[in-house]
Amino acid sequence: MSRLYLHLMLGLLISGWALSAHALRLGPGMNHAEWRLELSPFECKMWQPLPYFGDAVFSNRAGEEQKFYLAPTRKAMKAGEARLVSTPPVWDETRRSLDMGIVKVHPNKPSISLGKKRSTQLLNELYDGMSPVFSRPSWYAEDEDIEVFLSSINFRKAYDQYRGCLAALLPVNFDQINRSRIHFPTAKYELTRASKTQLDHVVQYVKADPSVTSFFIDGHTDNVGRRLYNLDLSKRRAEAVTNYLVANGVDEAIITTRYHGERYPLVSNSSGKNRSSNRRVTIRLEREGL
């Protein structure tokens, strides 16, 4: 316990970082602050390495909301609640700190995770040159605080690239479109406007991801009507989906189209709501190496 503290303290003093009497400050030195990027149509990620702690990460996956999280490489903060304060740079005496409230500290990784609203607030503070600080007693000593801080040095250039990536994100990710369901009104096989929009997202994703190797399209019905009629109806529904995908640029050679009538209900056909769930075409994708 004490050896870990002495190790951290020695490293911080050698690096020239501040160490108060009651708080161990973990973050980048002024000459070492950097923001790294991983940008693609599937995910935008921007993070700052925090020496002796881990990483501070902003991430936005396609089809999902932005989040921020602290990813420690070693245990530092005690689980519970941390205070988040945005502090001005030491050379600017005209600005005041902003109390941004309380955040949860989790015992597992990531230790702190924030949703869209609060992660956007953090970005705004960094863009304005402020330094967000997370304060929480250490796990090894109740009277010793850990202060994990982010630096705004070199932030704006990285943030401009990050914003450009956000604007180019796909509308969906693989998990959201794999095993998609297209639903149909009773006795109908024509695609609705909403269904076409859903399929457009599938097409857009597949065109961007060359690892997708195959489609499985399966048509289904409820139990209203004769079995042979339902088998033909499920065939028409499956073909409607396949034809739309092919017409919009998906290679027909990677699509397997099947139809099952009323044979495989998703739920019991005991109610109108359940029958609506069973009138469907499912789309399953396979990717290379998965």
Are residues 156 and 213 both part of a single domain?
Answer: no
Tokens linked to 261: 């009538």
Tokens linked to 24: 């161990």
Are residues 127 and 204 both part of a single domain?
Answer: no
pLDDT for 191-233, tens place per residue? Answer: 999 999 999 999 999 999 999 999 999 999 999 999 999 999 9
Are residues 100 and 190 both part of a single domain?
Answer: no
Are residues 188 and 120 both part of a single domain?
Answer: no
When the pLDDT of each residue in the chain is averaged and rounded to a whole number, the result is 91
Q: Where are the beta strands (DSSP E) in 18-173?
A: 23-26, 36-39, 43-50, 54-61, 67-72, 80-87, 98-105, 112-114, 131-137, 145-149
Q: Which of 167, 200, 217 is the last residue of a domain?
A: 167
- Residues in a beta bridge with 214: 286
HSE-up of residue 54 (Cα within 13 Å, Cβ side): 16
Would you place residue 11 in the very low, low, confident or very high pLDDT band (cuts 50, 70, 90)?
very low
pLDDT at 23 over 90: no
Spatial distance between the Cα atoms of 35 and 158, rounded to a whole number of angstroms: 6
Spatial distance between the Cα atoms of 99 and 84, rounded to a whole number of angstroms: 6
CATH (domain of 188): 3.30.1330.60
Contacts of residue 193, defined as CB under 8 A and 6 or more positions apart, other chains included, come to none
Would you place residue 1 in the very low, low, confident or very high pLDDT band (cuts 50, 70, 90)?
very low
Q: Which of 121, 149, 167 is the last residue of a domain?
A: 167
pLDDT of residue 12: 41
pLDDT at 15 over 50: no
pLDDT at 4 over 60: no
Are residues 128 and 15 both part of a single domain?
Answer: yes
pLDDT for 102-149, tens place per residue? Answer: 999 998 878 899 999 999 999 999 999 999 999 998 777 667 788 999
HSE-up of residue 78 (Cα within 13 Å, Cβ side): 14
Residue 212's closest CA among 167, 184, 244, 245? 245
Angle at 87 between CA 54 and CA 59, to 5 degrees: 40
Spatial distance between the Cα atoms of 72 and 250, rounded to a whole number of angstroms: 42
Q: How large is the average pLDDT for residues 225-254? A: 98
Residue 78's closest CA among 30, 29, 112, 37? 112
26, 74 contact by CB (below 8 A): no
- Model-level pTM? 0.83
CATH (domain of 71): 2.60.40.2540
Would you place residue 72 in the very low, low, confident or very high pLDDT band (cuts 50, 70, 90)?
very high
pLDDT of residue 19: 37
pLDDT for 153-202, tens place per residue? Answer: 999 999 999 999 999 999 999 999 999 999 999 999 999 999 999 999 99
Are residues 251 and 276 both part of a single domain?
Answer: yes
Number of separate domains in the chain: 2
Q: Where are the beta strands (DSSP E) in the chain?
A: 23-26, 36-39, 43-50, 54-61, 67-72, 80-87, 98-105, 112-114, 131-137, 145-149, 180-183, 212-219, 255-259, 280-287
Are residues 187 and 157 both part of a single domain?
Answer: no
pLDDT: which is higher, 198 or 75: 198
Would you place residue 32 in the very low, low, confident or very high pLDDT band (cuts 50, 70, 90)?
confident
Are residues 48 and 116 both part of a single domain?
Answer: yes
| Cβ contacts of 68-72, under 8 Å, gap ≥ 24 | 68/113, 68/114, 68/118, 68/119, 68/122, 69/110, 69/112, 69/113, 69/114, 70/110, 70/111, 70/112, 70/113, 70/134, 70/148, 71/109, 71/110, 71/111, 72/109, 72/110, 72/111
pLDDT of residue 137: 80
Range of the domain at 57: 2-167
Q: How large is the average pLDDT for residues 36-48? A: 99
Are residues 197 and 107 both part of a single domain?
Answer: no
Are residues 218 and 131 both part of a single domain?
Answer: no
Are residues 187 and 44 both part of a single domain?
Answer: no
Angle at 264 between CA 259 and CA 267, to 5 degrees: 135
Are residues 12 and 76 both part of a single domain?
Answer: yes
Q: Which of 104, 135, 167 is the last residue of a domain?
A: 167
